[in-house]
Copies of this chain bind each other. A is one copy, B any other.
Amino acid sequence: MREVAIFEIGQTPVSEHWDKSLLELAGEPVLQIFEKTGMTSAEAIFVGNMLSGSANRQLHLGAYVADWVGAKHSGAVHVEAACGSGGAAFRAALMAVASGDVETAIAVGVEKMTDSPSADISSELAGASDADYERDMGLSFVALNALLMRRYMEEYGYRKDDFAGFSINAHANGVNNPNARFRYPITAEAYAKSAMAADPINILDASAMGDGAAAVLLVPLDRIADRENAVKVVGSGAATDAIAIHDRRDPLWLSAAELSAKKAYRQSGLTASDIDLFEVHDAFTIIEALSLEASGFAERGTGARWANLELISPHGKLPLATMGGLKARGHPVGATGIYQVVEAALQLRGEAGPNQVPGARIAMTQNIGGSGSNVYTHILRR
């Protein structure tokens, strides 16, 4: 495989963008990249998005976005893997450049959720689960994750408050991220008193939907003059698991996260102990704990012990969700995987402001579709 690097990045704030169409939102980070690089197109564009067909009544986003940004003759396609759509689009762009087929590929993730004409965005989101055996039984995504969290607490003896540190860290980091949806800190008390969504998951365990878009431009490493300082994509892994949680041998083990992380480690020649920061898929605090275990950072049943600022803040042993994560930056589902990569790139470039992880050289991102059924892990290195 040809070596590939991130040449430029773009992102919009995650917010309720009622004044912007899906297209305007998707175009913004791409046009930022064009402005910064002086480019006016890219050979290939990969659009990560989950819900546009139903929530926005628009399919064919590849051609649509390419047309909008003035890159209408590029090859452009829409890639979907539920909440892992951004990671999937990034990986598809990586393959296109790594294969030698194209010299420039943009992966853009976009989601516009907050003024959907669809009556029930929760039901739309449940399209990521097994429609026959999960969604149609009335299980929303938060309910599925509540079952996981309850089981985890029961099996390993945690109390609900043990998870608070994950959300406190995310919100503390969101304060300094101008693109974060929530820019205020939260306390353990606020967490404890937060309204219950699906017991034991409360509002402060769960990431918030939002509208947003982020983009990265990938090029062959040999096109970059200063190769030493380029942010290189050194590992990429994709793996799936049974889509329905009840079909998994062990519901508390994210096999797809394990497999995709192992592949990314193998490809990069690195191990978990080499990672300087981890943009984790904290859609729910329970998923953050399970992801840490499956990705080799914690032993089975010990992931929740990392909910501790001394370990995971930007100055901790393994900084997590350094720009706010899904919890505080926000979770515009199909865009999230690209936001993770953009934020990791900012860290490796030393441009993360007050949240800068000192001396960050190696970053990992993990984007999860469904309740662990489709996982994209990437390792970036400067």
Contacts and interface: CB of A to CB of B under 8 A. Distances in A.
A68 to B, nearest CB: 9
Nearest to A136: B57
Contact of A131 (B57, B91, B260): B57
Contact of A127 (B21, B51, B59, B96): B59
A179 interface: no
A127 B53 contact: yes
Interface string A46-69: 000011011011111111101100
Contacts of A92: 77, 79, 92, 95
Given A92-B95, A373-B60, A80 B78 contact: yes
A73 B374 contact: no
Instruction: Say how many copies of this protein the assembly contains.
Output: 2
A243 B64 contact: yes
Given A53-B127, A67-B243, A95 B99 contact: yes
B73 A241 contact: yes
Interface string A96-108: 1011110000000
B100 A80 contact: no
A370 B63 contact: yes
Contacts of A54: 53-54
Contact of A240 (B76, B131, B373): B76
Interface string A25-41: 00000000000000000
A256 B79 contact: no
A128 interface: yes
A121 interface: no
A57 B127 CA distance: 6
Given A100-B98, A131-B57, A374-B62, A73 B1 contact: no
A313 interface: no
A146 interface: no
A80 B92 CA distance: 13
A242 B128 contact: no
A247 interface: yes
A86 B32 CA distance: 31
A286 interface: no
A58 B131 contact: yes
A240 to B, nearest CB: 4
A19 to B, nearest CB: 15
Chain A interface SS verdict (over half): mixed
Nearest to A58: B131
A81 B77 contact: yes
A118 B218 CA distance: 39
Interface in A238-274: 238-244, 247, 255-256, 259-260
B66 A240 contact: yes
A255 B77 CA distance: 17
A283 to B, nearest CB: 14
Contact of A74 (B50, B77, B131, B239): B239
Contact of A58 (B21, B127, B374): B127
A342 interface: no
Contacts of A237: 75
Contacts of A255: 73
Contact of A63 (B59, B74, B243, B260): B243
Contacts of A51: 53, 59
7 contacts: A1-B100, A56-B131, A60-B127, A73-B240, A77-B374, A79-B92, A98-B101
Given A60-B243, A63-B82, 6 more contacts: A59-B128, A60-B80, A62-B369, A63-B81, A77-B81, A78-B79
Please provide the 6 A-B residue pairs with the shortest distance between their CB atoms, ordered closest to farther.
A75-B238, A59-B127, A99-B99, A53-B53, A98-B99, A63-B374
